[in-house]
Amino acid sequence: MPVYNIIQAVNDALRIEMRRDDRVVVLGEDVGKFGGVFRATSGLFDEFGPERVIDTPLAEAGIVGTAIGMALYGLRPVPEIQFADFIYPAYDQIVNELAKFRYRSGGQYPAPVVIRTPYGGGIRGGHYHSQSPEAYFVHTPGLKVVIPSNPIDAKGLLLSAIRGQDPVIFMEPKRVYRASKGDVPEGDYTIPLGKAKIVRPGNQVTVIAYGSMVHTVNEAVERVVAEGFDPEVIDLRTLLPLDQETVLESVKKTGRAVIVHEAPKTCGYGAELSAIIMEKAFLWLEAPVVRVTGFDTPFPYTLENEYLPSPDRVAVAIKQTVNF
Amino acid sequence: MLAKGQTSTPEGSSGSTNEKPFRLLDDDGRLLPGVDAPEIPDADCLKLYRGMLQVRLVDDRYMKLQRQGRLGFYMQSTGEEATHFGGAYALRSTDWVYPSYREPGLAFWRGYSLKDFTNQLYGNVEDPVKGRQMPVHHSARWINLVSISSPVGTQIPQAVGTAWAARIAKKDDVALVYFGEGATSTGQFHVGMNFAGVYKAPCIFFCRNNGWAISTARDKQTASTSFAIKAVAYGMPGVLVDGNDLLAIIASMQDAVARARRGDGPTMIEALTYRRGGHSSSDDPSVYRNPAEVTAWETNDPIERWRRYCVNRKIWTQAAHDQMVAEITDEMMAALKHAESLGPPALETMFDDVFAEMPPHLAEQKAECLAAPRQKITHGGH
């Protein structure tokens, strides 16, 4: 099994699917000859040519808008938005159009477009290269939202997303794009959307994260375990549809929950998770649900490590929740 | 293959445009001297006439129904009927169309029935879009007519994507996208035109310049001398055509379609016409425009000009006209009676088609909704 990082795993998934299904096309800014600014589409242009690996003009609304039209006609477009921070010009096409096509046409027009986009901070990218806008899309009926934390999941989830019948926002954690490595199975395999993974079983508190924050949580957990704590860690992998079963079973077992994400706190995904836990596991709770998140400020440049949830902040939250 | 009318339209090199609206028929429906007009069989001429007549009759009747409170909302296209059929006539059934909300004739020509049309307006149990959208937002997959969106211009890049996809799939289908002149002010227009120009997508951009975007006059949309001239900057021909001259629109469209099919890329057509009615049933144009303007355009009616053309070809008779009116009226009344007799879609269908398969959280909300106590709720459109 080759050791791949997330970029290589994404690249592998795209290549496998483009070989398997000639309806799959990749489009976006710099995705062709150059292979993408993060190299995720590297080599695809040479193998599949300019008709299927398309360098577009610089306009996100055009990338998503044309991808919708391609999907309606029968192709399987996988557009790349270079940074999640640049997705807003395409917001109307995603939220009003892509997400609603199947519904508003009475089921006549499914629009299976998978939008890949790197997200998140910790790369010294400042406000325009660090945001985590997942909540906008989770809040939009008709979209699935997937955020892998590691290369094995990234490949299997991306293959599932492209083979599905629904539009997917596929957010890739760019802080760990290269740092997260794993033994990625060769060839074709899928990981179903909507299934979370228990990263570490434990009994005292459920720590829920996704994407790059899984790595922050793992660091924190390593420390608190050394101090004798026993947290359970869940990597959600898919934000919508959410694997409620895994989350609720865990919280009912531990009686405690800490939610970690790097997006701002107010109306962030943690708020939804917290509400679901309150609605469905209230009688099992031994402590208030705690959120460790980015702050409700624009994403800062110099102080980004203070802004982002750190292993320290997560460790404190775990210990306080257990000792509540 | 060159379509008829080729020599008269400014087609050919990319980035060209004409300054005066291209015409083939004079006000009396006579061919202008020396023009090379498309040859349209007699039967098609009458079918086009009947189509425009249907749009006119439907608009008159359904607007009245809206005023009577029997229909929630309506949008008419009185005076713009030729733009629907000029576009529709030049296509074949495998081509794709992205209408805006003011081209019902495009749908009728491709086979959308008055029954489907009316059921959609009523949002009833037989509405092709299952009561999901307000009136005039049709969608008909079986005739490659894409779901209509209210925000103007969003369909433009989508149509480019479809046209481009056809080429990637090695088909020679084209996509035709309609929008009003107001949509040319949106970013979506720029994005769509630019993508299509760069990649030579087989897409035809049909701008219905009817002078008004709700209350905003044409001169508040652009400082350009025309809308067609914008095509030049995107590297495609821009054709300004008389939007009330059906024959000229057909000729311009046939040129554009031929060009797209043979791989030479997109064309923009600006059809100069006039919105004689309000923007919608919710609008009151008397507040913002001079009624004399409307009266002036009433004497330049596209259906009347086509009727005269048919008379000149000796194929129009009063008897045939009367029969068309009777047939259309009967069909319309039957469609209305049927639509009004039907109830709304079943409550549980509200949760269908959000995704291909219903995820657990929606199934849970559906069960909650169905179990909830409810008063009798009236549904839109009635």
Quick check: B377 pLDDT over 80? no
**Per-residue three-class SS string for B110-172:** CCCCHHHHHHHHHCCCCCCCCCCCCCCCCCEHHHCECCCCCCCCCHHHHHHHHHHHHHHCCCC
The distance of A155 to chain B (nearest Cα, Å) reads 22
Residues A104, B195: C-beta atoms closer than 8 Å: no
Contacts of B188 in chain A (CB under 8 A): 61, 65
Of A127, A129, A139, A215, which one is the catalytic site residue? A129
Of A18, A40, A104, residue with least CA distance to A68:
A104
Chain B within 8 Å of A92 (Cβ-Cβ)?
Answer: yes
Average pLDDT, chain B: 94
DSSP letters for B53-111: HHHHHHHHHHHHHHHTTSSS-----TT-HHHHHHHHHT--TTSEEE--TT-HHHHHHTT
- Which pair of tokens denotes residue B56? 């006119």
The distance of B160 to chain A (nearest Cα, Å) reads 6
DSSP A124: S
| Residues composing chain B | 382
Chain B within 8 Å of A110 (Cβ-Cβ)?
Answer: yes
**Candidate from B127, B154, B195 with C-beta closest to A57:** B195
DSSP B44: H
Rounded to the nearest 10°, the torsion over CA B119, A68, B151, B153 is -120
Residues A66, B157: C-beta atoms closer than 8 Å: yes
Distance CA A244, CA A276 (A): 8
The angle subtended at Cα A116 by Cα B192 and Cα A105, nearest 5°, is: 55
**Which residues have a Cβ under 8 Å from the Cβ of B43 and sit 6 or more positions away?**
none
**Which residues have a Cβ under 8 Å from the Cβ of B132 and sit 6 or more positions away?**
A103, A104, A105, A106, B123, B353
Residues B160, A107: C-beta atoms closer than 8 Å: no
Q: What share of chain A is helix, strand, coil (3-state, %, to 5)?
A: 40, 20, 40
| Residues composing chain A | 324
The whole-number average pLDDT for the span B250-254 is 98
Chain B within 8 Å of A290 (Cβ-Cβ)?
Answer: no
**Candidate from A75, A97, A141 with C-beta closest to B168:** A75
Quick check: B134 pLDDT over 90? yes
Interface A-B: count of C-beta contacts within 8 A:
150
Which of B127, B145, B174, B353 has the most A C-beta neighbours within 10 Å, making it the best mutation to test the interface with A?
A: B353
Contacts of A108 in chain B (CB under 8 A): 128-129, 139-141, 147
Tell me how far apart the terminal alpha carbons of chain A are, to the nearest angstrom.
44
H helix intervals, A109-267: 134-138, 151-163, 213-226, 244-254
Under the banding of pLDDT at 50, 70 and 90, the label for residue B378 is: low
Collapsed DSSP state (helix, strand, coil) of residue B208: strand
What percentage of chain B carries pLDDT values higher than 90? 92
Residues B154, A65: C-beta atoms closer than 8 Å: yes
The distance of A65 to chain B (nearest Cα, Å) reads 5
In this predicted structure, what is the pLDDT of residue B15?
Answer: 60
Which of B191, B199, B234 has the most A C-beta neighbours within 10 Å, making it the best mutation to test the interface with A?
A: B191
In sequence order, the β-bridge partners of residue A10 are none
Which of A72, A140, A193 has the most B C-beta neighbours within 10 Å, making it the best mutation to test the interface with B?
A: A72
Q: pLDDT per residue over B167-191, tens digit each? A: 999 999 999 999 999 999 999 999 9
A129 is annotated as an active-site residue: yes
Under the banding of pLDDT at 50, 70 and 90, the label for residue B379 is: low
The distance of A154 to chain B (nearest Cα, Å) reads 21
- Which pair of tokens denotes residue B109? 């020509």
Q: pLDDT per residue over B80-129, tens digit each? A: 999 999 999 999 999 999 999 999 999 999 999 999 999 999 999 999 99
Contacts of B168 in chain A (CB under 8 A): 25, 51-52, 70, 75
**Which residues have a Cβ under 8 Å from the Cβ of A186 and sit 6 or more positions away?**
A1, A2
| Cβ neighbours, 10 Å, residue B380 | 13
- Which pair of tokens denotes residue B203? 């897409």
Distance CA B277, CA B297 (A): 11
Is residue B133 within 8 A of residue B106, CB to CB? The reply is no
| Cβ neighbours, 10 Å, residue B92 | 10
Per-residue pLDDT of chain A (324 residues; tens, 9 = 90+): 899 999 999 999 999 999 999 999 999 999 999 999 999 999 999 999 999 999 999 999 999 999 999 999 999 999 999 999 999 999 999 999 999 999 999 999 999 999 999 999 999 999 999 999 999 999 999 999 999 999 999 999 999 999 999 999 999 999 999 999 999 999 999 999 999 999 999 999 999 999 999 999 999 999 999 999 999 999 999 999 999 999 999 999 999 999 999 999 999 999 999 999 999 999 999 999 999 999 999 999 999 999 999 999 999 999 999 999
Helical pair B302-312 and B81-89, crossing angle rounded to 10 deg: 60
**Candidate from B127, B141, B161 with C-beta closest to A66:** B161
Handedness of CA A286, A292, A293, A297 (dihedral sign): positive
Quick check: B11 pLDDT over 50? no
In this predicted structure, what is the pLDDT of residue B8?
Answer: 37
Bond from prior residue into A241 cis (ω within 30 degrees of 0): yes
Q: pLDDT per residue over B298-356, tens digit each? A: 999 999 999 999 999 999 999 999 999 999 999 999 999 999 999 999 999 999 999 99
Per-residue b or e along B296-335, where b marks 16 or more CB atoms closer than 10 Å to that residue's CB: ebeebbbbbbbbbbbeeeeebeeeebeebeeebeebbeeb
Helical pair A60-73 and B187-199, crossing angle rounded to 10 deg: 70
